[in-house]
Structure 1
Amino acid sequence: MSYKTILSVTGINQSDSDLCAAAELCASAGAHLSALVVALSASPPIGEYAAAVSIDWLEERNREIAKLDERAEEAKALLAQTGISFDVDTMYTEIAWSDEEIGERASYADISLLGPGLKLDPELRARAIDGCLFKSARPVLLVPKRGKPTLSPRTIILAWDSRLEAARAAREAIDVMKDADSVHVTMVDPRAASARNGEEPGADVAAYLARHGIEVTVDRLASGGRPVDEVLNQHALDVSADLIVMGGYSHSRLRERIFGGVTKAIIEESSVCVLMTH
């Protein structure tokens, strides 16, 4: 699909780098940029000491709202110089339901862009990822540190494990993969099984992509005991990939947060941009 609206989520303490990168991406894609500046509010005080601290809480809240409005005006001034179509909105929300509200906004974009600047605010980044992935039915483009967002990659890795999430990611990225020079369907320690990968792991999805005119190579990699995310990141470097396409959280979020998992690790440590869907 073509991306006509791109949502960029930023915080109030970030530099302009994420917004500038989002503007460049929209200019190259001919897309509208919807910039959302978010501040997470602390929960209101409760209990026997609430009355004593409520004044301080209200004053802090007012300072944060003023800073949020100031940051939005700075974003508007910056984007007005780029010549792209854009809008800037603000969101002041409590942590508890911030993912719901961010996800609702993401529902009105074709893709959400989360840049490396969000790592300065880990709580907001986590809530933005959860909201955009689970509450919007839209893909997310995650940009690593020193990375440059792109929707026109030359070399793509499609991380394939025959699960529903991977299938959704492949379908979402069809148009992106069509324009690429090469697509590596990459499987780590695949097992041949008729009920899952088939007798020749990766052959079915490769044939599906080839019928869309996509140049496909199937890479079956042995982990050698290494974590899957480490194998994928190294393979991305080996083939000079610009983008990893993958499904996110085929296991529950709670399980991955407690025990770790491929999705969590890729989100935190990817060497290239990641287009992720759930």
Structure 2
Amino acid sequence: MLFKTVLAIIGSHEDAADINRATDLAGQLGAHLSLLVVDIAAPPTVGDYPVGTAWLDQRVEDLKTLHAVADLARTHCETAEIPFDIDRFYTERSFLADTIFQRALYADLVVVGPKLRAQSALINAVVDGAVFDAGRPLLLLPAGQAPVKVKTVLLAWNSRAEAGRAAREAIEILTQAESVHVTLIDPDASYTVNGGEPGADVAAFLARHGVTVVVDQLPSGGRPVEDVLKSHAGEIGADLIVMGAYGHSRLRERVFGGVTQALLEEAPVPVLIAR
């Protein structure tokens, strides 16, 4: 498989289910699993006793929790009998993205589960470090069991560089899928936008790789694009959504408006994003 090293970012308040999702995925891919257990340290308080003591006590408790989650993850990996390594980081928010960047450089795929996705500070650090800085694809796992085999893929397409990068990062998955639905929302047939036949160019590109392609041109009907994508994923029985993310890194211009942020927070199936 294309993904030989999977980096799973685990929050210090993760449950066993999220750890299991990471180990199951690594096992299915036959990949080495690097686990990074992280937490953001609370800033020091300004004041005298007992406030300062309470802050120190909180750090001690946070570190205990962090180590406990790392120990739990180690046990799961040993039980799964997969190759793995584990690191722990308890640091300020401003340093976390750089830590993730340094680790993501040596991974083919970065993975997060629903517990971490629900923590905005942590998921934003992952996006900054892994997607923007390291340029690695990010797989967002939903609650529930990820499919053992990806049969149907929804490729969200808007003829931008980010969508092209996502398609290339996922090309082996797309090749092995039974069908890939190139999905355009409110396509524009202008030459400088989606072309005279929206979706035809990317369909031809994918077909040369042996991908079985279906082009779906969908009207939004005034609905948010993320809702259209989620609905269409359900209609076609998609096992995976592949999409580009953000046009400009620090301004975070979002593909299809707010769809990236919406799918970061919640999606019915796994989502692979790249920039």
Give the TM-score taking structure 2 as reference length: 0.92
The one of 185, 204, 222 aligned to 1:225? 222
Identity %: 47
Corresponding residue of 1:26: 26
Unmatched segments (≥5 aa) in structure 2:
none
The one of 61, 77, 80 aligned to 1:79? 77
**Cα distance, 1:75 vs structure 2:** 1.6
The one of 160, 164, 173 aligned to 1:163? 160
CA distance in 2, matches of 1:113, 1:123: 16
Unmatched segments (≥5 aa) in structure 1:
none
Corresponding residue of 1:234: 231
CA distance in 2, matches of 1:44, 1:30: 43
**Cα distance, 1:253 vs structure 2:** 6.0
Corresponding residue of 2:57: 59
Distance 1:174 1:255, change over 3 A: closer
**Cα distance, 1:119 vs structure 2:** 4.1
The one of 95, 100, 103 aligned to 1:102? 100
Shifted more, 168-177 versus 121-130: the winner is: 121-130
Quick check: 1:14–1:120 contact (8 Å CA) kept in 2?
no
Corresponding residue of 2:2: 2
Corresponding residue of 1:129: 127
Corresponding residue of 2:45: 45
CA distance in 2, matches of 1:149, 1:10: 20
Distance 1:136 1:251, change over 3 A: closer
Corresponding residue of 2:273: 276
CA distance in 1, matches of 2:12, 2:214: 43
Number of aligned residues? 273
Equivalent position SS for 1:92: strand
Shifted more, 176-185 versus 128-137: the winner is: 128-137
State whether structure 2 residue 172 is matched by structure 1 residue 178. Answer: no
Quick check: 2:6–2:33 contact (8 Å CA) kept in 1?
yes
The 5 A counterparts of 1:197-276 are 197-250=194-247, 254=251, 261-276=258-273
Distance 1:133 1:74, change over 3 A: same
CA distance in 1, matches of 2:172, 2:252: 33
Corresponding residue of 2:66: 68
Distance 1:232 1:253, change over 3 A: farther
**Cα distance, 1:233 vs structure 2:** 0.6
CA distance in 2, matches of 1:30, 1:134: 26
Shifted more, 230-239 versus 246-255: the winner is: 246-255
Runs of 4+ that moved beyond 4 A:
251-257
CA distance in 2, matches of 1:147, 1:24: 9
Give the TM-score taking structure 1 as reference length: 0.91
**Cα distance, 1:145 vs structure 2:** 2.3
CA distance in 1, matches of 2:76, 2:181: 38
Quick check: 2:118–2:265 contact (8 Å CA) kept in 1?
no
CA distance in 2, matches of 1:236, 1:250: 23
Q: Provide, for residues 44-102 of structure 1, a one-character-per-residue CA deviation record: whole Å limited to 9, x for no partner.
A: 335xx368743332232222223222221222122111111111110111012312212
Quick check: 1:143–1:149 contact (8 Å CA) kept in 2?
no
